[in-house]
Amino acid sequence: MFEITDIQRDYITEILNISMGSAAAVLSEMVGEEVGLSVPEVVFLPRRVAADKFDLNNSAKMSGVTQSVSGAINGDALLMFPEEKTLTIVRILLGDTVPVESLTEMEQEAMCEIGNIILNAIVSSVANLLQKEIVSSLPHFISGTGREIYAINAGCEDDLVMFLKVGFGLESQSINGHVTLMLNVPSLREFIAHLDEQINAL
Amino acid sequence: MDEKTVLIVDDSRVSRMLIKSVVVDRHPDWTILESGSGDEALTHAGEQIDLMIIDFNMPGMNGMTLAEKMKALYPTAHISMLTANVQDSIQKRADSLGIGFEKKPITEEKIANIMAQVQPSYV
């Protein structure tokens, strides 16, 4: 089992806190209201177990965006919302730029761009904090239960991954979503080595 | 009036629509060219272009590679990278290339700031 020290866990949580803060600032700028954030969770679990653990909406359908990341960290970044809220989110963000009748047609495309901005804010912040470069793939729209979405890399259900998860909420719209980073363990050793460099420099 | 031509390069149709709506709102007489990729943008080479607003993460050629090519073709045009990829390393590359750098999300103010690079009275 892959293990990290308390100080490493603390540092990872802090990196996620800062990175999610950047993403929240971006989201807040987009929706024009304060974004509430939960305390970050960091766990090491096989994907299958994590999918069950984090299927918090009791198998309700979720929609979201995923991007693969590589470089200083390797894995997947996900942004997820309850499926029934995506059209509301798209409407808030696009305002009257798009005619109402075109909103449904543009829903997936708009969600991809929203995900691209939010996930890149997080990934860029992590890269800047680590003083390394992270390459992210183009965003993909995803939909399904939490369990289905977390198993996005079919055949990798038994892989041990580091799950970093933060919830966020927009009070006025009763919208809650979450962002997850799933980092593959083979790249984790390198990631932890980067962290140690930073911790030792403190 | 001093009419300008703006080239918007972004693989997201939504982003292009948002940028275009600000430009049209502030300057309906400007010509707007749109491209969904770097390769498509290069098909406009040779046409009059005064301002380019370019995304970084796109399928095929990334925005920085496109900006380098466009900078060589249009040394006097203003080029701004408008991207969600706000890593220091990307910003440094934009700085060293001598192009602008704005962080997404797209706002009216950010687009107005970019437009002001070719027409200062339109801040």
Q: Is the pLDDT of residue A155 over 80?
A: no
Contact B57 A113 (CB under 8 A): no
Q: Is the pLDDT of residue A153 over 60?
A: no
Per the structure, the count of domains in chain B is 1
Which ipTM did the prediction report? Answer: 0.71
Per-residue pLDDT of B54-63, as tens digits, reads 999 888 999 9
On chain B, the residues whose CB falls within 8 A of the CB of A121 are 84, 86
Q: Does B41 fall in a domain? A: yes
Question: Which of B14, B9, B11 lies closest to B58 in space, CA to CA?
Answer: B11
Pick B86's closest partner by Cβ from A29, A109, A121. Answer: A121
Q: CB A22: neighbour CB atoms within 10 A?
A: 21
Closest-approach residue (CA) in chain A for B106: A30
Q: Tell me B118's DSSP state.
A: T
Beta strands in B60-120 (DSSP E): 78-83, 100-103
In sequence order, the 6+-apart residues with CB closer than 8 A to the CB of A26 are A117, A118, A121, B103, B104, B105
Q: Is the pLDDT of residue A158 over 70?
A: no
Which of A30-44, A139-153, B36-50 shows the highest mean pLDDT? B36-50
Lowest mean pLDDT among A1-10, A59-68, A107-116, B72-81: A1-10
Per-residue pLDDT of B14-31, as tens digits, reads 889 889 999 999 999 999
Q: Does B123 fall in a domain? A: no
Length reported for chain B: 123
**Cα(B118)–Cα(A195) distance, integer angstroms:** 44
3-state secondary structure of B20: helix
Asked if A106 is an interface residue toward chain B (Cβ–Cβ < 8 A), one would say yes
Lowest mean pLDDT among A82-86, A118-122, A150-154, B38-42: A150-154
Q: Which domains, from first to last, does chain A contain?
A: 6-200 (3.40.1550.10)
Q: Map tokens 């995923």 to a residue.
A: A66
CA distance B57 to chain A (A): 7
CA distance B31 to chain A (A): 19
Q: Is the pLDDT of residue B122 over 70?
A: no
Q: Which residue has the higher pLDDT, B99 or B14?
A: B99
On chain B, the residues whose CB falls within 8 A of the CB of A26 are 103-105
Q: How many CB pairs under 8 A join A and B?
A: 64
On chain B, the residues whose CB falls within 8 A of the CB of A22 are 86
Residue of B12, B19, B111 best to disrupt the A interface, most CBs of A under 10 A: B12
Per-chain mean pLDDT for chain A: 82
Question: What is the CATH classification number for the domain harbouring B114?
Answer: 3.40.50.2300
On chain B, the residues whose CB falls within 8 A of the CB of A112 are 12
Question: Which of A183, A11, A30 lies closest to A110 in space, CA to CA?
Answer: A30
For A78, the token pair is 């996900």
Closest-approach residue (CA) in chain B for A108: B14
- Structural contact between residues B45 and B73, judged by C-beta atoms closer than 8 angstroms: yes
- Structural contact between residues A79 and A115, judged by C-beta atoms closer than 8 angstroms: yes
User: Which domain does B18 fall in, by range?
Assistant: 5-118
